[in-house]
Every structure is written in structure tokens, then in C-alpha cells.
A and B are shown apart, each in its own frame.
Chain A
Amino acid sequence: MSTEDSAGPFDLDGAWRLDERVSVRPERFGALLYHFGTRRLSFLKSPVLLDVVRGLAEQPSARAACVQAGVSSAELPRYRAALAALAASRMIRPRSG
């Protein structure tokens, strides 16, 4: 769902947020993300993933953000992989509390 392929392990139960240097532009297919620090562009290839990413800051965990956006348990592994890729490219960061 994101164009990055290097996805490592990802803590679904941790609290996450978008990096403050990331700008999000909704598009028909999902969204474009641009990180002003790394100058990298990422694509969110589904509107649901955009909802997940936007929900990260308010939800206690990434898992909760997925549930809130309507991701089913069968789909969860795909979303976990997409979030892992976003974390690897520093688009999203762990948040304390």
C-alpha cells in the first residue's frame, strides 16, 4: 500500500504519530505524503490507509487506529506492513504516551 518495500518489524501496539515534517495531500487513490526532512515522497494507495495514518495521533495504538478506520483482522497484516514501511522511511514515529 506504500511504495516502500523495506518493511521491518512494526509494533502495532505502540503509540505512533506522523512526523511533524510530513505533509499529507489527499488524492483520489489515497494520499501523497512528503517528508521535508528526507525529501522523500510516499504514496498511500488506499483511503482507508489514509484514515489509519490520520488516526494514529489520537489512538492509543496503531492497532486501535486500524480498528477505528474499519480495517478487519484479515486485512491487518497488510496494514501492518504498510505502516512498517512508513516507519522505515521515517514518515511516522513512535510517540510516548
Chain B
Amino acid sequence: MSLVDDFQYGLDAPICLTWELTYACNLSCVHCLSSSGRRDPGELSTAECRALIDEFERMQVFYVNIGGGEPTVRPDFWDLVDYATGHHVGVKFSTNGVNITDEAARRLAASDYVDVQISLDGATDDVNDKVRGKGSYRTAVRAMQRLAAAGFQGFKLSVVVTRDNAGQLDAFQAIADRYGAQLRLTRLRPSGRGADVWDELHPTAAQQRALYDWLLEHGERVLTGDSFFHLAGYGESLPGLNLCGAGRVVCLIDPVGDVYACPFAIHDAFLAGNVRHDGGFTSVWRSSELFAELRRPSGGGACSACSAYDACRGGCMAAKFFTGLPLDGPDPECVRGHGETALATVPAGTVPKPSQDHSHRTKPVPVSIGRRRPPERACDESPLTLSER
């Protein structure tokens, strides 16, 4: 049996676990996977987070990818990082850089067990700030300057590839080189608020091909988090495991303790359980019905007749789901163009919506003052009020 087969059937613990600590964020990126902005009142407490870390240690989860929201806005963020590394759980956290002070940078540079990922979605401030918000480019660059000055070698510069920045790959590499960072490229998913902008922002077919060629040329230096395995349909596999690890080798724990199959699938259809109930995370990972189903071998459906199926494995489950495509059909960005054809047949209004939305309320809430709605039925109106008039 090959390793990939082993992974299909699942492991006793995830290889890579994403843990979103909070839905709170200082930014409102248009493509946010978790529709973050405002804190959820039900977020895990410090004690609950520590108990979860204890569980990771018992399961031998080597490291967790901490994200959000912006995880560093949690007042207990640094304490939790210290608690994790003190319990043999490595931490890699994603940040927009807002709380990377000189002191934080020095502290991070001193630890073997903590890695940092700075998010930047444009190699220039105009391209970046259009997606991530005004001033966010400057914040990210300032954080990278501080990390570099503190001597942190090899932190990650993390980029979501979009139609607007797909032509800036060399420029991103140059920025990474300037600060001694490693470039990480990931795929734009139609998840969370990403669903609202995916049509305009996902790379064109020509850009996708150019990205594939670029990755083949530079792949050894660049991380992708196995993001682009659907591009293996072009012929050669990119470095990485090249499989959908959802519920098999990866999963997501959200700020309120819900466990989803992957970070791109925050929807009830991919909810395996909650760490507060359901016997804790270990039990959810090992015995949830959803994960058991994901670990069963499945056919390729419409794709099984395609000669590229063995390479791309039908692509990304979440990308299909949130564009309204069947899970056993082609990826919306199928390199053979089958996704585009399939997308044209998705009836309007049938695309699933994310299960939660913590976005900042940037639009004014309409309030009507003065006009009373007439009662729908006579007995809805209090007879007392009527008589007083």
C-alpha cells in the first residue's frame, strides 16, 4: 500500500491541524475564508484552549497552524503559544502583522518551536490593500522588517494567488528574499467571504497555467500547503502529498470548538463535532461519522473517465461545494476546463452559504422610525392600546 493510500484511510491524529483562535480581526479581507471580523461570545476560554493543547500533546500532534481572525488580538495569545511549545506542540501562526512589535519579533526569533506566517496578497500596496484593506501592506512589511531585524530566518510570507497578483510571483519571491523569508503560495477558495469575490478574483485559466509552470520551476523553494494539487492534471505533480487531506490528515478547529474537515469547509455539511461535547477532539477525530465517511474510498463520479483523474483526484472538495458543484464532479478550476462547463449548469440560488458570518457590520443597519406597522390580525393589537387612543 502506498503512503497516499494510508493517508486516504486516515491517521490516528492529524498531521496538520488548523486552529482558528478567534473570529475577531482588525481587517476585513474580501476573501476571508472564515468570514471573520467580530469575536464570537462563545469562543473557547483560556482554560479550554489549554485543555485542547494537552490533548494535542497526548495525540502527538507535532504542530498546529494557528489562525483566525487575527489570533494575536486574543489577550491570552502569547500565553497559549508558550503553553503549546512547553507541551511539545509546535506553533505556526498566521498574522497580518498588526501585533508584531520589536519585542514580539525578538521573542519569536528566539524560539525553535514557533513559526510565523505573514499574510500579504499583493507585491505592491495597491494590489494588496484592495483585497486586505487600506494600510495592510504597510503593516505586513513593517512586521517583516522587525522579524528580519530580530534575526528570524525563514519565517513565511503567505500569499493567496488571485487574478490581480498572479503576475507578481517573481516580485513576491524578491520580497521574501529581502527579509530572509520563505514564500508560501496558496489557492483562493470560494469559502467564507471568498465566495462573494471568487468569480472576479480567481486566476484565469492562462494565469493558472503560468502559475503551474512557475511552481515547477521554483517549487523546491516555495511552499504551497498542497494547495494546488488540482494542477497536477497538467501532467507533472507539484511537490507535496497531492491529495485532499480533509478529515484524513488535516482538519480545522474553529474558535467555538467546532471541528470541520478542513479550513476551507466551514459549513454544517463538513462539521464533524465539537471539542466541548462529543468526547473531546480525540473522539471527534477518531470516531465522527463524517470523518469515517471521508476516509472511505470513493469513486471519481463524472471525473473517473478522465485521463487526468489519477493525478488531480477530482480537485478540492470545498471549492466544488461552495460553487454549487457536485462533490464527485470536476473542480471549478479543472485544468481541462470541465469545471467551467459544469459551473454554467449550476442553477442560480442553489449555491450553499457558509454556516456562520462574523464580518464587521460595515454597512449601516436600516432602522425605520416613526411608522407603526399595521397589525396583521385584529387580535394582534392590544385592545387596551386601542381604547386609550
If A32-B62, A34-B63, A41-B15 touch, whether A23 touches B3 (CB-CB below 8 Å) is: no
Given the known interface contacts A23-B62, A34-B63, A39-B90, the answer about A28 and B6 at a Cβ–Cβ threshold of 8 Å is: yes
A23 nearest CB neighbor, chain B only: B62
Alpha-carbon distance A42/B208, docked complex (angstroms): 29
CB under 8 Å from chain A, chain B span 183-241: none
Instruction: Write out the residue numbers on chain B whose beta carbons fall within 8 Å of the beta carbon of A34.
Output: 62-63, 90
A37 at the A/B interface (Cβ < 8 Å)? Answer: yes
Interface string of B73-96 (1 = CB under 8 A from A): 000000000000000101010000
How far is B88's CA from A29's CA once the two chains are assembled, in angstroms? 23
Q: Mark A7-33, 1 if CB is under 8 A from B, else 0.
A: 000000000000001010101110010
Q: Tell me the interface secondary structure of chain B in the complex.
A: loop
Chain B residues whose CB sits within 8 angstroms of the CB of A45 once the complex forms: 3
Q: A32 contacts which chain B residues (CB < 8 A)?
A: 11, 15, 62
User: Does any Cβ of B come within 8 Å of A79's Cβ?
Assistant: no
A36 partner, pick from B13, B60, B112, beta carbons under 8 A: B112
Q: Evaluate whether A23 and B60 lie within 8 angstroms (CB atoms) in the complex, with A32-B15, A37-B112, A39-B115 already known.
A: yes
- By size class, the interface of chain A is 10 to 19
Q: For the complex formed, measure the closest distance between the CB of B205 and the CB atoms of chain A, giving whole angstroms.
A: 31
- Give the chain B neighbours of A28 by CB distance below 8 A: 6, 11
Please judge, given known A-B contacts A36-B112, A36-B113, A39-B115, whether A29 and B6 are in contact too, CB under 8 Å: yes
A21 to B60 alpha-carbon distance, docked (Å):
14
> B12 on the interface (CB 8 Å rule)?
yes
CB contact under 8 A between A27 and B6, given known A32-B62, A39-B115 = yes
Report A-chain residues with C-beta under 8 Å of the C-beta of B47.
none
List the 4 shortest-distance A-B pairs measured between CB atoms, nearest first: A34-B62, A25-B60, A29-B6, A37-B112
Residues of A participating in the B interface, judged by any CB pair closer than 8 Å:
3, 21, 23, 25, 27-29, 32, 34, 36-37, 39, 41, 43, 45
**Interface residues, chain B, with chain A CB atoms under 8 Å away:** 1, 3, 6, 11-13, 15, 60, 62-63, 88, 90, 92, 112-113, 115
Q: Contacts A34-B90, A36-B62, A43-B3 known; list 9 others, CB within 8 Å.
A: A3-B3, A27-B6, A27-B12, A28-B11, A29-B3, A32-B15, A36-B113, A39-B92, A39-B115
